[in-house]
Amino acid sequence: MSESREDIENVEAWAEVFRAILSRVPTDQRVAVLALVTKNEEGRRAEYAKHGGFKPVNAASVDWRSHPANRYWKVVMRLKSLLIQILVRDITNNHSAKDAAAILFAEHPFGCGSRRLGDYLSRLPGLENADA
């Protein structure tokens, strides 16, 4: 049930994932959110291209506190939690318990860290056996 390289490169499938996420943004703010994401991505890509694929960091000239990811840290974490709940509910409502578990607890070759959701859930109080 893990994603493949073909899955990762499927633009239409990614668009559906983003549609599901975007549907949680208030309707009158969706275009603004997409515009800001696009603007930030274009800027990031331009910066990397300018430096041969790398983004130099000059710690003295960067005020990391002003970045929205830091300025709105708690809001970002709450919204991420909201999305996780919504996406997990979608998976569990649309699959058998066995298939949902196989999807959610698959080892993800394109993931981060251990690439296993259960490894992170098992760190939480009361969920020590989440990947069992």
Distances (CA, A) of 36 to 40, 41, 67, 110, 124: 6, 8, 13, 26, 34
Q: What is the pLDDT of residue 131?
A: 61
Is residue 113 assigned to a domain?
no
Is residue 66 assigned to a domain?
no
Question: Which domain covers residue 28, as residue numbers?
Answer: 1-56
Is residue 16 assigned to a domain?
yes
Is residue 104 assigned to a domain?
no
Question: Cα 5 to chain center, whole Å?
Answer: 17
Is residue 28 assigned to a domain?
yes
pLDDT mean over 19-31: 96
Is residue 87 assigned to a domain?
no
Between helices 11-22 and 73-93, what is the axis angle to 10°?
Answer: 110
Is residue 30 assigned to a domain?
yes
Is residue 4 assigned to a domain?
yes
To the nearest whole percent, how much of the chain has pLDDT over 70?
Answer: 92
What gap in Å lies between CA 105 and CA 118, rounded to an integer?
6
Query: pLDDT band for position 54 (50/70/90)?
Result: confident
Q: What is the pLDDT of residue 61?
A: 61
Host H or E run for residue 84:
helix 73-93
Does the pLDDT of residue 58 top 70, yes or no? no
The single-letter code of the amino acid at 45 is R
How many distinct structural domains can be found in the chain? 1
Q: What is the pLDDT of residue 62?
A: 66
Residues 87-122 pLDDT 10s = 999 999 999 999 999 999 999 999 999 999 999 988
Average pLDDT value over all residues in the chain = 90
Name the one residue in this structure whose structure tokens are 């633009």: 11
